[in-house]
Structures are given as C-alpha cells and as structure tokens.
Structure 1
Amino acid sequence: MTTITRRTALAGATLLPLAAPRAQAPWPDRPVRLIVPFTPGGSTDILARGMGQRLSEIFGQPFVIENRPGAGGTLGSEQVFRSAPDGYTLMMGHIGTLAANPALYRTLTWDIGAFVPVALVANVANFLVVTNRLEATDVRSLVALAKRDPGRLTYGSGGNGSAAHISMVAFMEETGTEMTHVPYRGTGPMMNDLIAGTINLTMTGGPPALPPVRAGQLRALGISSLERLPSASDIPTIAEQGVPGFDVLQWYGIVAPPGTPAALVTRLNEACNRVLGEAPFRARLETEGATAQPMTPAQFGDYIARERERWGALIRRNNVGLG
C-alpha cells in the first residue's frame, strides 16, 4: 500500500463514528407496580393507595396498586421477592408480612429478610372493636366475658399472619384469655361480617375501623397505643383499662426485591419522606389513626430486624404456626 493510499484509508477511518455507550433509560420511564399482598379495603391497601397517588405525581409515572392476596401475604410477597430488581415492582409490606411471617410460616422457601428496605410509611394504632350485639362495653368487661367461657368469643382478621391476627395473640397473652380466630381473605370481608354480627370482635387499624365506629355500626372499646389519639380522643387506651403497658402498633412500609440498586432506593426513600413531611398527607394519616414515620432505608432495616425478633418470640411462646 502506498503512503498516499495508507493516509487516505486512515483519514477515511476517522470518519467512522465510534460506538457510543448505551445510555440508561431514566427511572421511571413506565408505570411502577406497588403490590399489596392483601385484598382491597384494609390498612395496607388504603395506605398504599395514598402513597402511590403522591409518588405518581412526583415521578410523573403511574404507581399502580395491585392486590395479590393469599396465605397471610406470602403469595404477594414471594412474587415481589422474585421480581426483577429494577424498581418497577415494589411492595407495601407490614408487620405481618415482614416481621411475623418468618416465624408463622417455617417452610418458606425464600428469605423475607433479603427484601431491600425502602421507606417506613406509618405506624397505625389498633382499635379493639366489637359488634354492637356483644354486651361488652369496655376492655375489662370484654376480658371478663372471655374468661367466663374460654374459646366462645370469635375474633376476625384479614387472614392468618395478618396484623389483626398477631395483635390479638398479643392481647390474649397479656390478658390470659382464649378466643377463637376466624381468618378471612382480607380485612374488608371481615369487617362486613363483624358489622353483621357474624363474629364478635377484631383488633385492626384505624383506616378500616374508624368509619364504621363513627357511623355507629361498631363499638370501639380501646386503642392499642400507650397514649390516646388526637383524632379519637374519646376512645381510651387498652393500657388504661387494666392491661398496663399494652403497646401493639401496626406498621407499614415499602420494600423492594433483593438486589435493587442503592441509588434507586435512595431516590424512592427521599420521595416517600417528602410525602410524609407534607402537612395535608400527615393530616390525612392522623384522621385514620396513623402516624407518619420517616426513616432512612438503613433505619427501616434495623426496625424490621427488631420487630422480627419481638414478634417471632411471641409466636413461638404461643405456639402459633401456619406452615
């Protein structure tokens, strides 16, 4: 090849574009699924929809709520656990799915502890509510009624392993009572049966409990926090009615599949905490008996670990096992 030809070839080569690195699509560039592992109508669902709406507005993409109930939340949880860690599948978890289920379901084939904590959303006080047909008018009279005929009173929950289930296990342990558990496929159907008088009572969060109480369809005997709630100051605590120190709160937070990138988790956490700091959102939570609890992902992870230890011990002491 002559010098001129070689130079021409080299000059021509410089005209060929170099392969540019593939640009990553910004997240999110399509809808995000927020899985609720329970039926519509319960606290998990209500809080997920409120948070999902604001995240949709912040990120400019829909956060679509998908209810995937079954087996105490384990079916929906496993679906999220095995999803791609790309930020497009998240879960609104809670005290049952993230803390109690490892002890309740001993044959799980996947590690609940491997979920990536994103943001704690809220603590929710439980309301101990009874059908209007039950003669109990306060916690003391309910305990006396339960002790008079162990196992006769029935309490409902949104399913085995649900927050209502383990909260009632704690109540029975503290009061030395025995009642019969009636699990439902979600809080909504359970509340309908409670209003109808098919079951006697439940202990569930403010979002599903307060509306029928305020409508006179159910009677609230007490709340499970140590202090009365400003939004329901007329309802005494369980602790001040003969069960000192009783403090059983539900909590709800967003988690992601194992391997979700830390940068994406940080963005989500900052957005969630931004929402939790907004006065209208906090006021909305307070009217439903919920309290905003902003945390970093690391703080939320530590909180989950402590709660797993606490509720696992309770479950083992009471020999509650579901699989």
Structure 2
Amino acid sequence: MRPGPDFTFGPPGDEWHYDKLSRTYDLTRGRLPAWTASTSHGPTETFITVAPRSTALVVVDMQNYFLHPSCRDHPAGLAAVEETKKLVEKCRELGVQIIWLNWGLTPEDVPRIPASVQRGFSRTLIHGQANPNDKVVRLGVGADLGDGKGRCLVAGTWNADIYEPLKVASFRPGDVRCDKNRMSGMWSPDQPLRRYLDGPQGRQVRTLLWAGVNTDQCVLGTLTDAYNGGWDCVMVEDCCATAKPGAPEVCLYNVSVSQPSWIFTERHCDYEDDVAHFSSGFVWICREQRDLCRGYEVLSNRCLPKAASSR
C-alpha cells in the first residue's frame, strides 16, 4: 500500500499534496486522468500533476492592437504567438478548456475608464509623438484608430479581436471568450472571466495556465488577482512576452518568489540546462525545451503528456 503524501496544503476538498520522494505536487484534487510536467525554475526535478478537466488555459491580450504589424512592432510577442499555437493544440488534446481574455470595452465602459488607465493609452496626446514601436497614434481608449481598425480596444472592432494568424490557427467553437476593461481580467466579481470561473460551467476549474502579452502588465495583473482568489496558477513562460527590457526577469521573480508563487514554462524538458525552476509558493512557470521529459509521454517535441495517470 502506497503511503500518503508527505505534506498537504489547503482546506478540505481543495488540497494539494506533496510527495518528497518524487518531488511532485499533486494539484488534481483526486480527479483523473492527469498529466505530470516538470517545472522550469527553482530546485531541479520538481514536478506538478494536474487534472486537465479541472484546468483552463487563459490567453491574455493576444489581440491585433498589441501584436499586428500594422499596429506595432512586437517581435517577442509574435514569437510567443508561435509557442501559444502549439500550447493550445496540446491543451485541446488533453481536454483543457481554452479561454481568450481580451480588452473589450463597451460603450458604457469608455467614459468610466479611470484617469490612470486612460493616461496610459494617450501617449500621443501627451508627448506629441508615438512610441517608435507604435504604428497607431495613442489618443486614448475608445478613440478611432483609423484605417478601418475601429475604436481603440472597443469590443467588436478589428483592433480588439484576437490576432488574426492566431485566431485562424487556434480559435475553435467551444472556446470561451471573455472581455475585460482593466489590465486585470479578474479585478472585480463582475468581470466576465471571474463570472465564468464562479459560474456553473467554470466552477470545476481550479488550475489556470497563463499565456499572453504583456507579461508585466495584463498577464501578471490577472494572474495576481487569480492567485489571490485561490486558483492554482501556472505561467507558461515561452507563451508570454513583453517588449520592456528587464521586465520578464522581474515578473518571473515576482511570480515565483515574491508573491510567493510557482512558475512553469513550456520549454522545460531538458534536465541539465533548463530544468525545474520551482519556488516555495503557489504558481509555476513551465518552459518548452527538448524531446524527452524524463520518461513521460510528450506531445510533439514538447513537454505536456498526451495522457497519464496521477503519480
């Protein structure tokens, strides 16, 4: 008979279990099937086991406004898009729910946007010229961007839609789309993502995988609110991006150590170089790497197994 876990965290019915011998955190809450993956930051050869049916992938702000070359230059973001396409495909095979979380303002939202938020989207008005990476003038949320792009980040416009190549490759019926009106998509109980996760369709979801742009803004903001709300959070590092120098490193530190949290990225299969960055907290980063995942069956040449039973 197998002994019980060495440590148990959390309230009854919502526990994590940790096994010291295998260095594995079990987040399944007893649900099967499950898959196990290594983490990419922290002590080496640390693993998490997750139940796909209790897991959702949240893709944040991968929209035309932030990624399309006609709106701005974001090479790091476009690289993250390519990894996100692979991740979405893997998640579908595993049975993980896909959630697209985007800026999507209603006509009622626009006049109510706080001054601090409006200022951040009004760079052209303030400084007289756009950021060199911007291809559109920044006149504030709700302003007409011209050339058929629509009003800035207003729901239903081209600029607020999922980035075109990603939408064609990865969006499918059955995916959940949630609009937001702040950097965080979970800043209030009235936000669509929060309502979905608290509602009958999403209530079973306890683990959230995070991808998107920008890492230091809307991804981190929403992840932090989800962490504070009690969800397991897994940042997929290679599927997140920002254009700000030094910001990724700060975010990884904050998520894995300061909050505290765990982080896990997609490229995390190499057990000599990029292994197991795990911290003493509640959010992981998992990274994609090479073919092998220490004996676990993998999808494609990456690290999420097609099917596995709980360790």
Same fold (TM over 0.5): no
Q: Which has the larger radius of gyration?
A: 1
Structure having the higher helix fraction is 1
Of the two structures, which has the highest relative contact order with CA contacts closer than 8 Å and spacing of 6 or more?
A: 1
* Superposition TM-score, scaled by structure 1 size: 0.24
